[in-house]
Amino acid sequence: MPTCTPFLTTAALPDKPHPPQPGLATDQLEVAGSLTALLRDTTTEPRPDMQLEALALSVAADLPVLLWGEPGIGKTAALTQLAESLGLPLTTVIASVHEPSDFSGLPVIGDDPAEQGVPMAPPDWAVRLVRAGRGLLFLDELSTAPPAVQAALLRLVLERRIGVLRLPPGVRIVAAANPRSSAADGWELSPPLANRFVHLQWVHDQEVVIRGLGGTWPRATLPRLAPERLPEAVDLARRGVCGLLAARPELIHRLPSSETRRGGAWPSPRSWEMALHLIAFATAAGSSRDVLALLVRGTVGDGPGLELLASLDRMDLPDPEVLLADPAAAVLPDRGDLRQAVLDGVVAAVRTRPEKSRWDAAWALLVRALETGAPDLVVVPATSLASLRREDWDVPASIERFAGVISLSRRADDAAARVAAVKAGR
């Protein structure tokens, strides 16, 4: 009987593994650790960053902030770096992996519940924050927290209470969320919770990312508040917000109709109060208009926020009567829209009280605007001012300087009208 050839022969068997060499493995891990340490060895530099400045101002104003951005955009890294810059211990809580009781507190039955009640025990991270007396509480992945957890977070964000504990004044609250389209099992924020935050859109800056990966990241610092500007800042903020709401009372409370917009910034008495605080802080810090725009639109929404910014711009405009009193010393805004508003205000002042001296002073202002800015900005004010002339008023010699500008503007308008007519005929 023939013998069967085995399927595996000794030659086909794999070699026995070499015994581990502890010394060699340890050396390689140490080298890997050294390489990792070198990669993590980065530095910071003072660099203007509107996002970081808006975030720092909100933290200084002790207002809850919500950073919106795509995954991997650097929200967590920004919070870590901000906490280090401010010397605050960072406590991170992933909202989506917690139960409602983790924020409202767990009931603990004492010796006599009927007499002493049932206290709500806070989680350990809240106890550590209270003991430290200061810190930065980071609520991450807020948009993936279910509605029950969001409801429990309301008391934490508004009243700063977790169970029987109250967070000390030195604790600041910052949250982060991904848009629902890019969040795993994401939820829209409930309107009550969304209206308690300053919403900042977090986007990456190409140059910041490249320099950061090269080892140098921007440094987050609290803007310096000028003590001498505090009363002025409060007055400006109150006049700006109250003036707009007096003229547009329908903006006091406007709940958006869509679910998505309800989960963002929208106007309410609460969010208008936050906007007022942030205007005062930004003014006292001398922040740019772009930073102020991020803060205002992040509290009351884009539409009302833009109206408030326009109202604040108009408050800074010079008084038309002051300009008419001394046209030679007039300082006109550089921004085209503000310069146009000033010139329109001057013409309106002359129309209200038409006098020869005021009419001549207005022409002198228009000449100054023609010499120091875009010529097209004076076309409409010059045409309106010319229509206010009385029969016994002599035409100033300076009016001839506007003839070419107005003629050019009219030709441009005629050309635009002809182009529009041709397109309509097609």
Residues 330/366, Cβ–Cβ less than 8 Å: no
The count of C-alpha atoms lying within 13 angstroms of the C-alpha of 131, restricted to the half-sphere facing its C-beta, is 8
The structure's pTM equals 0.73
Q: What are 10-17's contacts with CB under 8 Å, separation 24+?
A: none
Over the chain (426 residues), what is each successive 10-residue block's mean pLDDT?
Answer: 46 55 73 92 84 92 93 84 86 87 75 64 87 93 87 89 88 89 72 94 87 84 87 94 90 90 94 97 94 96 93 83 88 84 88 91 88 82 86 79 56 47 58
Backbone angles phi, psi at 90, to 5 degrees: -100, 125
Q: 90-94 and 198-201: which strand pairing?
A: unpaired
Q: How far apart are CA 181 and CA 189, in angstroms?
A: 13
DSSP 123-192: PHHHHHHHHHSEEEEEEE-GGGS-HHHHHHHHHHHHH-EETTEE--TEEEEEEEE--GGGSTT--PPPHH
Residue 163 has a pLDDT of: 80
Q: How far apart are CA 288 and CA 335, in angstroms?
A: 14
What is the CATH number that goes with domain 45-106+120-218? 3.40.50.300
Structure tokens at 249: 């009372």
Say whether 203 sits in a helix, a strand or coil: coil
Residue 198 has a pLDDT of: 97
Backbone angles phi, psi at 106, to 5 degrees: -95, 135
DSSP 42-100: -EEE----HHHHHHHHHHHTT--EEEE--TTSSHHHHHHHHHHHHT--EEEEEGGGS-T
Residues 110/116, Cβ–Cβ less than 8 Å: yes
Residues 25/190, Cβ–Cβ less than 8 Å: no
